[in-house]
Amino acid sequence: MTPDTAPDTAAAARPPVRAAAAAAQLAGRLTARDWWLIEMLHTHRVLTSTQILRLAYTARRTANARLRRLADHGVLDTFRPLQPTGSAPAHWVLGPAGAAVLAARRGTTVRELPWRGGDMTHTAHSTRLAHTVEANEVMVRLAAEHRTHPGRELLLWLPPHTCAHLWGDWIRPDAYGLHHDTTDTAPGRAQTAHAPRTRTRAPEPAPDPAPDPVPGVPEEPGAYPVGRVTGFFLEYDRGTEPAWRVAAKLDGYAAHAAGTRTRTPVLIHTPTPAREHLLRTRLAATAADLDLPVATTSAHLTPAAQPAHLTRYDHDTYPTAADPVWHPLTPTRYPAARHHGGRLRLADLAEHFGPLTPALDTTTPDADAYEPAPDWTAVPPLPPSAGGTP
């Protein structure tokens, strides 16, 4: 044991699981939500118990009981990183039986998934664990918002390794997302990004009978088109890289935009307002020269690390990446931004940058456009309706 991680005592007490035998026994025990979680952990590598709760459950006790049962069957593995104070939430990864049933379902082998027997050890001791978990938190909170605010939905969430497979010759973002927002918040009533949101909202106004169908600037300044789909790249910055290295990434995004004939905003999430100011100062001229849509925010607006004891509903009182937290590198003249210090909602970035086009707007990429051809379909960010399943 190293000082970086603490063993899970319950996991250590369990007898070794024979993956093949466990997989056969699990044939009639896995629910639709269990299958979704297996796919999510294979795709996104690691999720905390709080993140799983907010995506798939309504009660912490129910979530913990089901996760523990899946761990007892070897479907999942868990560890808890040590931290200077307090206790970190349990971190969950795919276990040997989970990899076996997933491979069987896909008609392949565990080795070809791919999945390694030491995935938990590799993940637990990775120097990028905190970066991965915090970047996932931004996307989890964006996806989970649909459960309390149906007008907002994260349609697609791709992890870093999938982004690298698709666009690695140009860029390697921390995530790619496709977000759909049907809310229509007028400039004078847009929510503040500087104070927690309440769960009680005023009734939404009736939608415009003829909204602007083009994801660009609407006909009337300050008007918000309904039903906008926004693709975006997430660059999660923890302040560990020099500013010049972050600026150098913009050349790759410009090359990607030219090579794919798309125009997708790059969203940079920073740890502090001071770091955000520094990056804005260093990136503004480069982004303007490359005509790149770039916007920034910081963790004091969209916290990626929050106390583990908060419930899903407590988390929902904080702004998410869909709220007016994004500050374009160039000044905006749109009336809504004046209420939030120049910051815009995710759905309103096209009002500032002009027409935007997603880098990928389906859950299955065009095989002819990539080499080697992708053999995957993206996992839905939220599980199927749990119904009466455990």
Question: What's the CATH number where 65 sits?
Answer: 1.10.10.10
Alpha helices (runs of H) in 145-204, residue ranges in sequence order: 160-167
What one-character-per-residue DSSP string does 360-375 give?
A: --SSS--GGGSSSPP-
Task: Quick: pLDDT tens for 130-186.
Answer: 999 999 999 999 999 998 888 999 999 999 999 999 999 999 999 999 999 988 654
Task: Judge if 99 and 225 occupy the same domain.
Answer: no
Task: Judge if 271 and 347 occupy the same domain.
Answer: yes
Task: Judge if 145 and 55 occupy the same domain.
Answer: no
Task: Judge if 113 and 152 occupy the same domain.
Answer: no
Across residues 270-287, what is the average pLDDT? 96
The pTM for the full model equals 0.81
Which residues, 6 or more positions from 11, have their beta carbon under 8 angstroms from its beta carbon? Answer: 71, 77, 78, 79
The total number of structural domains in the chain stands at 2
**378 located within any domain:** no
Q: Which of 126, 156, 177 represents a domain boundary (last residue)?
A: 126
Task: Judge if 88 and 149 occupy the same domain.
Answer: no
**111 located within any domain:** yes
Task: Quick: pLDDT tens for 186-199.
Answer: 443 334 333 344 44
What is the extent of the structural domain holding 36? 5-126
| pLDDT beyond 90 at 361 | no
The beta strand positions in the chain, using DSSP E, are 5-6, 47-48, 76-81, 91-94, 152-158, 175-181, 228-236, 266-270, 294-298, 327-328
**35 located within any domain:** yes
Tokens, residue 173: 């973002």
Look at residue 263 in the predicted model and tell me its pLDDT.
Answer: 95
Task: Judge if 179 and 100 occupy the same domain.
Answer: no
> What percent of the chain has a predicted confidence (pLDDT) above 90?
55
Task: Judge if 78 and 147 occupy the same domain.
Answer: no
The beta strand positions in 175-265, using DSSP E, are 175-181, 228-236
Distance from C-alpha of 351 to C-alpha of 223, rounded to nearest angstrom: 9
What one-character-per-residue DSSP string does 116-129 give?
A: -TTHHHHHHT-TTH
**76 located within any domain:** yes
**358 located within any domain:** no
**387 located within any domain:** no
**381 located within any domain:** no
**192 located within any domain:** yes
- 8-12, 31-35, 145-149, 250-254: range with lowest mean pLDDT: 8-12
Task: Judge if 121 and 151 occupy the same domain.
Answer: no
Task: Judge if 121 and 140 occupy the same domain.
Answer: no
Task: Judge if 85 and 143 occupy the same domain.
Answer: no
Task: Judge if 13 and 74 occupy the same domain.
Answer: yes
Conformation bin of residue 133: beta by default, left when phi > 0, alpha when psi is -120 to 50: alpha
| pLDDT beyond 80 at 2 | no
Task: Judge if 59 and 176 occupy the same domain.
Answer: no
